[in-house]
Amino acid sequence: MTQVTDRPMLPADPDSSPYWEAIDRGELRVQRCTTCATWRWPARAMCNHCFGFDHDWPAVSGKGTVASWVRTHRAFLPQFADDLPYVTVTVRLAEQPDLLLVGQLADSHAEPEPEPEIGMPVRAVFRGVSEGRGLVFWEPEA
């Protein structure tokens, strides 16, 4: 994986570790209820559609659209002071309309970063951060 700058990676918890372990391997896997097939993110024990506890972690298509975006100009966190201003996106995954992931566009270091368009198709790519951890980013679909 291409390395990017250091990121504040918080510890995974027992619900979320399959998500993070997959990303470290360069795969985007999302939790899905095996009873009613509803996807959910962030990870948690029970499906809020059918209330089932059984689930698996299938790989998703990695395709989605930009649901919204924000450009941050203030260094709320010191780790991001050199990256200002930076764009954060919410991506709506193709698998389900209420499956919304926060992320960033990949390799976007123009100043200021380009404005994504809401509705723009994107696909997941992976970048390495600190200590062998991976992080998913988003690239405009050609």
Partner 1 sequence: MSFSGKAAIAGIGFTEFSRNSGVTTLTLALRAIRAALDDAGLSPDEVDGVATHRVSDSAASMTVAQAFGIRDLKYFIDHFGGGGSSHQVIGHAAMAVTAGVADYVVCYRAINARSAFRMGGTGRGFVDSPETQYQAPYGYYTPPQQYAMIARAYMDRYGANERHFGAVAVNQRANALLNDRAMMRKPMSYEDYLASPWIAEPFRLPDCCLETDVGVAVVVCSAERARDLRQRAVLIDGATWGGGATLYSIGEPDLNVSGARHMAPRLYRMAGLSPADVDVAMLYDCFTFAVLLQLEDYGFCARGEAGEFVLSGATAIGGTLPVNTHGGFLSEGYAHGMNHVVEAVMQLRGQAGARQVKDARIALSTGAPGYVGGVTSALLLRGDA
Q: What mask of x and - would describe binding to partner 1 in positions 16 to 55, judged by CB under 8 A? A: x---------------------xxxxx-x---xx------
Q: Which is nearer to partner 1, 48 or 142 (CB)?
A: 48
- Counting Cα atoms < 13 Å in the Cβ hemisphere of 5 gives 13
Confirm or reject binding of residue 106 to partner 1 (CB under 8 A).
Answer: no
The single residue among 58, 70, 114, 141 that binds partner 1, judged by CB under 8 A, is 70
One-letter amino acid identity for 19? Y
CA-nearest of 64, 67, 108 to 87 is 108
CA-nearest of 26, 25, 47 to 96 is 47
Q: How far apart are CA 121 and CA 123, in angstroms?
A: 7
Residues of this chain that interact with partner 1 (CB under 8 A) are 7-13, 16, 38-42, 44, 48-49, 67-77, 79-80, 83, 85-86, 88, 90, 92, 96-104, 118, 129, 135
